[in-house]
């Protein structure tokens, strides 16, 4: 079984390595010549993905994986084609199909008639059949099976979560079933009635989390005004099995949760996901306002933000709350500086932010945006002149912060 993986980004390359690890012959196709050359030479272009570097080396050594910029070479004799190129948002927050459309157009002339095309990209409902299928001029052997993995733990997630698959007919299902049984160690395969249902599964599970985080954050804001510790209350509430309150914080970033609500039609029928998005995006402003209330006006002060990454220990900055925090600090006339051990100074500056390379640095306040493992031994007492720490991820011990002589400012505490 020859598999073509279209798109060798943060999900596509691990998928290609996973398929190769199961003995399949894999051709990876990407339009970036530097990335293709790097992969073929054994140099892993992705940092922080557990098991990827070793898996890539093994796949290349066994001649199970090769990558190319030539769509004809990649596709022309493939049994299965997996599309995993991003669909993000335009500046107007509409779905941006630019890369998916380009990939589909590139492979369409070379696609064997009996190949199964699987859309693993998370897409708006109807995209697999009505956009990809139409562009490929196909009515058979088409499936949607959106990836359900998180950066940094992709191989673990592939082993842990059932694979959800929706096909346009039984023939497509039989081939998809045979492929995923051969390619994955997933605990089970779940067939849903059609591609549209599979697409909706991914959107629904992502928006469930986003909405619940927004609920936790809004309840935390009320708890602040009422003098209640929300985290203590949530822990107690969650001992009841029907309560699964999430942890409040300074917002939700990433490639997924901030995007999915805008894959739904803006016609008033699904109001809650976008309201939740607004609530989560408002938490950076709320946190900075709470910090200012604790130490006084921020004008002409320096605020150190720990973490550009949207999530701890993952070198991914998409829709990170760090950007909203920088804006909130700047609006108050303060200087925001940013530290993240996962990013170089040049990478930080590329976002228009001011980096600091080593700690401690002079700062009037610290904001914890992403609590990387590298910060666990951070000595807060070494920040001379610092007044307070805004613990935006509930990562610190209040008593330890206060023992360092700093004010502790939390979300919901």
Q: What is the pLDDT of residues 274-293, one digit of tens each?
A: 999 999 999 999 999 999 99
Please compute the mean of the pLDDT values over residues 222-238 and round it to a whole number.
Answer: 96
Task: CATH number for 225-413: choose from 3.30.565.10, 3.30.70.260, 3.40.50.1820, 3.40.50.720.
Answer: 3.40.50.720
Location of each CATH 3.40.50.720 domain in the chain: 2-196, 225-413
Residues 53-87: tens digit of each pLDDT: 999 999 999 999 999 999 999 999 999 999 999 99
Give the per-residue pLDDT at 322: 98
Strand ranges in 360-406 using DSSP code E only, listed in sequence order = 365-368, 388-391
Other beta carbons less than 10 A from residue 289's beta carbon: 13
d(CA 233, CA 210): 20
d(CA 70, CA 29): 7
Q: 1: pLDDT confidence band, cut at 50, 70 and 90?
A: confident
Closest CA to 308 of 339, 337, 330, 331: 339
Query: pTM of this prediction?
Result: 0.94
Q: 100 and 124 in contact (C-beta within 8 Å)?
A: no
Give the per-residue pLDDT at 137: 87
Closest CA to 264 of 127, 150, 397: 127
- The domain at 2-196 falls in which architecture? 3-Layer(aba) Sandwich (3.40)
Calculate what percentage of the chain has a pLDDT beyond 90: 97
| Cβ-count burial 218-233 (b if 16+ within 10 Å, e if not) | bbbbebbeeeeebbeb
Please compute the mean of the pLDDT values over residues 353-357 and round it to a whole number.
Answer: 96
- Strand (E) or helix (H) holding 67: strand 65-68
């Amino acid at each position: 079984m020859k598999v073509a993986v279209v798109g060798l980004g943060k999900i596509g390359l691990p998928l290609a390595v996973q398929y190769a690890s199961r003995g399949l012959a894999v051709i990876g196709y990407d339009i970036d010549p530097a990335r293709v050359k790097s992969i073929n030479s054994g140099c892993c272009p992705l940092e922080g993905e557990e098991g990827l570097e070793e898996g890539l080396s093994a796949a290349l050594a066994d001649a199970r994986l090769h990558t190319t910029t030539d769509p004809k070479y990649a596709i022309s004799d493939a049994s299965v084609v997996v599309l995993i190129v991003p669909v993000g948002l335009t500046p107007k927050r509409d779905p941006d199909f630019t890369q998916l459309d380009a990939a589909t157009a590139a492979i369409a002339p070379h696609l064997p008639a009996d190949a199964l095309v699987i859309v693993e990209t998370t897409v708006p409902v109807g995209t697999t059949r009505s956009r990809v299928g139409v562009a490929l001029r196909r009515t058979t052997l088409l499936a949607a099976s959106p990836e359900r993995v998180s950066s940094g733990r992709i191989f673990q997630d592939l082993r842990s979560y059932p694979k959800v698959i929706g096909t346009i007919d039984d023939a497509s299902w039989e081939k998809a079933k045979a492929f995923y049984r051969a390619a994955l160690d997933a605990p089970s395969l779940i067939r849903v009635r059609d591609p549209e249902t599979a697409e909706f599964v991914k959107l629904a599970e992502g928006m469930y989390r986003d909405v619940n985080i927004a609920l936790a954050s809004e309840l935390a804001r009320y708890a602040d005004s009422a003098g209640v510790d929300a985290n203590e209350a949530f822990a107690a509430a969650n001992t009841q099995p029907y309560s699964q309150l999430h942890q409040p914080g300074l917002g939700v970033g990433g490639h997924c949760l901030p995007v999915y609500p805008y894959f739904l039609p803006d016609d008033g029928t699904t109001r809650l996901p976008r309201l939740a998005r607004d609530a989560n995006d408002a938490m950076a402003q709320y946190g900075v306002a709470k910090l200012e209330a604790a130490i006084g006006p921020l004008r002409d002060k320096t605020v150190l933000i720990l973490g550009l990454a949207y999530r701890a220990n993952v070198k991914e900055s998409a829709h990170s709350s760090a950007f909203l925090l920088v804006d909130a600090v700047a609006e108050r006339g303060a200087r925001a500086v940013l530290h993240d051990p996962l990013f170089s100074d040049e990478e930080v500056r590329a976002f228009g932010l001011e980096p600091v390379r080593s700690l401690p640095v002079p700062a009037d306040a610290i904001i914890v945006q992403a609590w990387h493992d590298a910060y666990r031994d951070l000595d807060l007492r070494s920040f001379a002149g610092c007044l307070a720490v805004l613990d935006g991820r509930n990562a610190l011990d209040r008593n330890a912060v206060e023992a360092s002589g700093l004010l502790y400012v939390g979300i919901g505490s």
